[in-house]
Structure 1
């Protein structure tokens, strides 16, 4: 049976209708999602007035995503992936619309907001494996790296623009209307997903546990795969989770406070956009080793802060870290596209995401107490050293170091 989403070999990614629809939907929904946190934070503060409530709502959106990633991977491998994306986007749209309604009608209750955030987090658990599986299927291997680089660059640009506009819109229109806009972007993305062609014949279904075991077997039998995931469990816990706390503390203690910390984060975002643009052109004969080595760049910002360098140096380190994120992401997805069977891709990606990001909330939670006990500078040096050490250990794995690109 012919697969209507199978790419035309030798064609650019723009020839794939599925790719164009995914890119358009993702960019507009990420714009809304990036604008929403500013609005939701101020809506919660207006209703409750506490940072604890903001943290509770934020955690409510994260926990379901982590808990249901594996189930989301199984569902994405069982069903037409664009149908999963439609359903997940509609759930997110409903959650944000209800959030907006409570804000606009001045009936905000923290318990309701926790429920809305949990619904959105649950949608993420199903949307992410389906999106990545369909994205890699929608273009041929020759153009996979460039297609994913363009996709990532679009998302990062939307993230920056959405975050910048979120504060302005919340101040000008009110938080409720920004949340309503976010809900509308999810509806738009769902409508675009309904226009995607079917992937072709569905595979034969087996039991849920059997399918989870199949995904785990596919994940565990590749040493290069689980070692890189272990590396990024450390990198994300320390370079993302802990650094969000430690960087803000360092900016408050040794730099110019919130203004300088915002500049550092802006440089990190600019680095991701620059890295994405770079990866639309750059090819490497060893994409996996390049991806792993790029992870070491995330040690630069904590090292720069620990050394007490000037703001310009910290910003340059953040720019390098952002570039490193995109060099890793594009090379990593290119390798996964080539090495993982399509019918098991979403399950493997779910295990990969769970392993890579599962420790990130723990890193954020422990960063403050570690800084209080060890001192801020020492904790930052330990974070930078752990990221560099994890990278060196994984680069020593022969399957990682020697894997070459190509078909």
Structure 2
């Protein structure tokens, strides 16, 4: 399979109808509806669960942190196993099972909240079940989509999924806040459960995807996936780049941003605007990619990752809110370009029988250092100052982008 390119830097723009050709394929259209609905529910989940925990006996900020940590830990533990079973059993079967777990966990939590019988340990346990579902679902996403659309429409399909994710990140928290204001957190959790139910129905209507080969043992399968992953310099190098970005720059930005917004920009409403514009930027970036695939998509993907440095630089420079918001908008656009193009390259270049494991190794590598970065951001900023820490992260990101682009396997990479 090859990426459709022109000799120029960017392929010739296509008509609006042609750019949306991916949605003409009924299987992808069905999956897009289900995935968009579950993403909206996921976008509501964090706020709903946080407010629910705060209202429980013994609840508080520490309890909210425990619940979030339990969910993230479960995702990281299950992610690689999810990749193995995706390649063994087929993406659709594993994703369907994962969504059933997510539906069940949120449904049980909603019942506990409605009956006012929820306890902290139960919320933690259900958060772990939710994380197991997320860890199992994620590797299948990269593996499933190539079977839903022709190769020529794969990049546009990924762009549409990126747009759906960005739109959910904007609409989900706002909708959750509105529902909590007029009802309660249990209602939002119930809506989240229903969203996973819609995804279950969408996946159930897709044909069974055939596993590429029978499993030969867990460690053998993991070894094969790891060999495929490490044999591609561009793949492990871009994964390492994103991993260190999350640790050095993005974690401090997410931790320090609300505090700096409170001190300088106008509080929670200002920070909400910054995050909303980041999501809107992702939508715009995804729309701009429809029908416009660069000839060297991998290099463009890494170049776009420099955009993540802009909002942190704006905060460190102590500029007014309007500039920080504009920086977040640009960063969101860069994020959409980076993630969509990188996913498309992986789907074209990696053999179908190891896509689940490759996706799992990539996901684990990209985000494993994130929780550590979140934990260290506060203490380190207390020693060196928030502005200096963010400035260091900006310098790191720009330098890292230059280093990655200097690698021949990245700079000169074109689909074979």
| TM-score bracket, shorter-length normalisation | over 0.9
Alignment deviations for residues 71-122 of structure 1 (CA, whole Å, 9 cap, x no partner): 1000000012211111111101111111111111111211000000000001
Q: Structure 2 matches for 1:7-26, cutoff 5 A?
A: 12-26=21-35
> Match for residue 378 of structure 1?
388
Matches of 2:320 and 2:170 in 1, distance apart? 24
The question of whether the paired residues in 2 share the 8 Å contact of 1:137 and 1:342 is answered with no
Q: Which runs of 5+ in 2 are unaligned?
A: 1-18
Greater Cα shift, 11-20 or 393-402: 11-20
> Match for residue 123 of structure 2?
113
> Match for residue 234 of structure 1?
244
The question of whether the paired residues in 2 share the 8 Å contact of 1:271 and 1:323 is answered with yes
> Match for residue 4 of structure 2?
none
Report the Cα offset of residue 15 of structure 1. 4.0
Judging changes above 3 Å, is the alpha-carbon distance between structure 1 residues 198 and 11 closer, same or farther for their aligned structure 2 residues?
A: farther
Matches of 1:11 and 1:160 in 2, distance apart? 22
C-alpha RMSD of the superposition: 1.5
Q: Structure 2 matches for 1:25-64, cutoff 5 A?
A: 25-47=34-56, 48-64=58-74
Report the Cα offset of residue 195 of structure 1. 0.8
The question of whether the paired residues in 2 share the 8 Å contact of 1:243 and 1:364 is answered with no
The question of whether the paired residues in 2 share the 8 Å contact of 1:301 and 1:321 is answered with yes
- The answer to whether 1:246 aligns with 2:256 is yes
Matches of 1:378 and 1:18 in 2, distance apart? 49
Q: Which runs of 5+ in 1 are unaligned?
A: 1-9
- The answer to whether 1:399 aligns with 2:396 is no
Greater Cα shift, 129-138 or 358-367: 129-138
- The answer to whether 1:320 aligns with 2:359 is no
Return the match for 1:213 from 213, 223, 229: 223
Greater Cα shift, 274-283 or 121-130: 274-283
Matches of 1:294 and 1:363 in 2, distance apart? 22
Matches of 2:283 and 2:368 in 1, distance apart? 25
Length, aligned pairs only: 397
Greater Cα shift, 317-326 or 276-285: 276-285
Report the Cα offset of residue 20 of structure 1. 1.6
Matches of 2:211 and 2:168 in 1, distance apart? 34
TM-score by length of 1: 0.94
Report the Cα offset of residue 341 of structure 1. 0.2
Matches of 1:143 and 1:362 in 2, distance apart? 38
Report the Cα offset of residue 201 of structure 1. 6.0
Runs of 4+ in 1 over 6 A off after TM superposition: none
Report the Cα offset of residue 16 of structure 1. 3.1
Matches of 2:88 and 2:59 in 1, distance apart? 44
Alignment deviations for residues 6-51 of structure 1 (CA, whole Å, 9 cap, x no partner): xxxx993234333122211111111111112222111111113410
> Match for residue 364 of structure 2?
354
> Match for residue 15 of structure 2?
none
The question of whether the paired residues in 1 share the 8 Å contact of 2:249 and 2:309 is answered with yes
> Match for residue 350 of structure 2?
340
Matches of 1:165 and 1:152 in 2, distance apart? 20
> Match for residue 268 of structure 1?
278
SS in 2 for 1:203: coil
> Match for residue 314 of structure 2?
304
> Match for residue 165 of structure 1?
175
> Match for residue 73 of structure 1?
83
Alignment deviations for residues 256-308 of structure 1 (CA, whole Å, 9 cap, x no partner): 12121111111111111111111113221110000001111101111111111
SS in 2 for 1:346: helix
Report the Cα offset of residue 404 of structure 1. 2.2
Matches of 1:307 and 1:159 in 2, distance apart? 26
Matches of 2:61 and 2:211 in 1, distance apart? 49
The question of whether the paired residues in 2 share the 8 Å contact of 1:242 and 1:365 is answered with no
Matches of 2:249 and 2:109 in 1, distance apart? 31
Judging changes above 3 Å, is the alpha-carbon distance between structure 1 residues 282 and 69 closer, same or farther for their aligned structure 2 residues?
A: same
- The answer to whether 1:87 aligns with 2:97 is yes
> Match for residue 400 of structure 2?
390
